[in-house]
């Protein structure tokens, strides 16, 4: 039997047929990444918002979101942890810059009152924020694989959200860096399980 603790992730994306077939849906991708044996993942105690979930948390808490001024952010992005978050995450022994997969064209423009911005990137000013010790938003996708990203790029192209040339550029850049999945897993699970 598990520890008696329960965890949840706020999912705000519709599962594509591909992700349902290959991974059992995005929920399964998150649980595979975060859950430890015997845990139950169905009740909100701490809330971790990913991508659109990050934006929803922001709006729900009084912040502002909108179209990204710099346009689409798709691919691998280097996220810089703020000095205050470096202290917060010091027990995790993770680097102060982390690579993450991104796929968004909206962003948090103004964090909620009383929220702390804990990470940023060259394209996105609020990559992560923390609200008290019970809510955290991450703009990128710590759970994504390059395989999922390639599928999403193709899907965006088919729906005419991006051009052929941009698709080619994105795919050409994918082989250069790997996302820091282990560090993101440690960060997310430590937040959700109250280890920070």
The residues annotated with a catalytic role in the active site are 51, 141, 143
Closest alpha carbon to 92 in 188, 193, 187, 189: 187
- Name the one residue in this structure whose structure tokens are 């809330």: 47
CA distance 128 to 82: 10
HSE-up (13 A, CA, CB side) for residue 192: 30
CA distance 24 to 155: 18
By three-state DSSP, how is residue 148 classified?
Answer: helix
By three-state DSSP, how is residue 166 classified?
Answer: helix
- Name the one residue in this structure whose structure tokens are 């929220």: 115
Distance, CA of 152 to chain centre: 15
């Amino acid at each position: 039997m598990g520890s008696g603790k329960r965890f949840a992730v706020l999912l705000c994306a519709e599962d594509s047929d591909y992700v349902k077939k290959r991974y059992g849906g995005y929920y399964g991708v998150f649980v595979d990444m975060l859950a430890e044996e015997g845990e139950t993942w169905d009740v909100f105690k701490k809330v971790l918002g990913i991508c659109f979930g990050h934006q929803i948390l922001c709006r729900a808490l009084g912040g502002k979101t909108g179209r990204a001024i710099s346009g689409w952010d798709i691919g691998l992005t280097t996220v810089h942890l703020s000095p205050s978050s470096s202290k917060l995450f010091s027990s995790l022994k993770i680097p102060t810059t982390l690579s993450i997969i991104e796929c968004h064209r909206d962003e948090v423009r103004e964090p909620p009152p009383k929220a702390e911005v804990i990470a940023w990137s060259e394209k996105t000013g609020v990559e992560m924020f923390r609200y008290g010790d019970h809510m955290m938003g991450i703009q990128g996708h710590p759970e994504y694989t390059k395989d999922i990203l390639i599928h999403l790029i193709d899907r965006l192209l088919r729906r005419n959200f991006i051009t052929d040339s941009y698709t080619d550029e994105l795919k050409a850049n994918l082989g250069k860096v790997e996302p820091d999945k282990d560090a993101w897993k440690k960060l997310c699970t430590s937040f959700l399980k109250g280890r920070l």
